[in-house]
Structure 1
């Protein structure tokens, strides 16, 4: 099972929209995919149509607590089956409490990795939607992942914040997960009509293009992407012929 973490400590850069459309897009290509919500706000869970996430009895927190306490986990425990052909391990506010618990846990960075080993034979790909921070949950995701995809909004401050993320990835690679790769940077929410956006994209390529893959697909700014989250559907169902859908289809081909 290949594990892809969608990471950026800055909020509002299109992480969850990217996680939904990456997971569903890969499933449409015939892959068996599980999406894992690793944000206490439960954005991925809500975006896939499960709006009452705080009433859920079993979530990612439940199974990780069982890993910490060395209790058995049922093969399908907590996993929801979405109509678009992916599975989801949901999250809710309980994940905030788990982050506090992890601080005093042995091998605290490896708890998610241990859980993913238990389901690795059931899926081709896991897509982890991380919280907008570089705390213990995100470190767990990076320790478990084979690859990181970094969505970046076409704005100067978004690019400025990437240095800190690269340092964190470097530390995780050195100390916890030597196989961790940066799959690439995905430019999101880009208003391609403006010179400002074009300048930011050029700055990104000039600053990082030699060291890190920057996906050719650029996700345009569109109200359709915001509507998608409220509908509980991927962009492929919500607006199949729209520019965001076409851009994500191109991105899926690049991810492979």
Structure 2
């Protein structure tokens, strides 16, 4: 539908955005050469970690990618947002980590999109770290489940792992199962609080457990264009982290906050909202630009733009 057929009003603009997301005209991404495995992590709570994981996953699914979200947070918020059953006793990441079920057997298809899947988290996961302590290869239990054979058989293009805001065995399992870390940073006071510790933990895991681990993306969340503070924080983050910071910023949005209460991502709850369009744009940007890896021979876990990018 041509832009000229829409009235120049906020309501018409929202309707146009919603129609664009739901139409076959949503831009389709090229599939990555190999599956991209990404953990979404920040040890500081309230930064939009789970919201970013599920909405980027949904955006990539709308762009033609087959996407799996692995919920490693015992709170199960990612499972809720994707409409996945995560009541007690449901096959979940708990059984997968303990080796009682395969990833395939614990996987559920999201009702919102044929290309979107979830391995949910149940309350059972809360005690899993105690059980994992005595297990062999305890740091690599998730990596073993998300093996190349599974990814090839299911033909996943992206896997997002949502982990708790702490560095326990669940988060370590997440970081040993992936190559990329995506860090959401909110555009508010104390935005960088705890990020230095997170970078140190990533460097430690990179050195001792998973040498392929690196920070490929930082997404600025809760951006309020009406405030000077948000602009200053965004500039500080871009200056500090460089290439990996996504161009797209996620605005503060009531619709983004409301969506999980209805068991939906914001792209399905209110596809015409600014939050939905921002997450779709961020997904298209991340998918389009590919993985940002550290410079060859560098010990720094921070990725850089490819030389030919």
Shared fold, TM over 0.5? yes
Question: How far off its partner does 1:55 sit?
Answer: 2.6
The reply to whether residue 159 of structure 1 matches residue 189 of structure 2 is: no
Distance in structure 1 (CA, Å) of the matches to 2:88 and 2:163: 21
Unpaired runs of 5+ residues, structure 2, are: 1-34, 288-309
Please list the CA deviations of residues 39-96 of structure 1 after superposition, one character each: whole Å capped at 9, or x if unmatched: 000111111224x623343111012112xxxx6x457312111122211100022112
1:239 aligns with 2:239: no
Q: Tell me which residue corresponds to 1:124.
A: 157
2:132 to 90, 94, 102: 102
Counterpart selection for 2:169 from 116, 123, 136: 136
Q: 1:176 aligns with which of 177, 197, 209?
A: 209
Of Structure 1 and Structure 2, the greater strand share is in 1
SS in 1 for 2:226: coil
Larger relative CO (CA 8 A, sep 6+): 1 or 2? 1
Structure 2 residue 164 is matched with structure 1 residue 148: no
Q: CA RMSD in A?
A: 1.6
> Of 16, 21, 25, which aligns to 2:50?
16
Equivalenced residue count is: 248
- SS at structure 1 position matched to 2:182: strand
Q: Which has the larger radius of gyration?
A: 2
1:216 alignment partner in structure 2: 247
Please give the TM-score of this superposition, normalised by the length of structure 1. Answer: 0.91
Cα deviation digits, residues 113-166 of structure 1 (max 9, x gap): 001115222122211111111111111111111111101111232312100000
**Residue 78 of structure 2 is aligned to residue 44 of structure 1:** yes
Q: Is the 8 A contact 1:151 1:188 kept in 2?
A: yes
Asked whether the equivalents of residues 220 and 246 of structure 2 are also in contact (C-alpha less than 8 Å), the reply is: yes
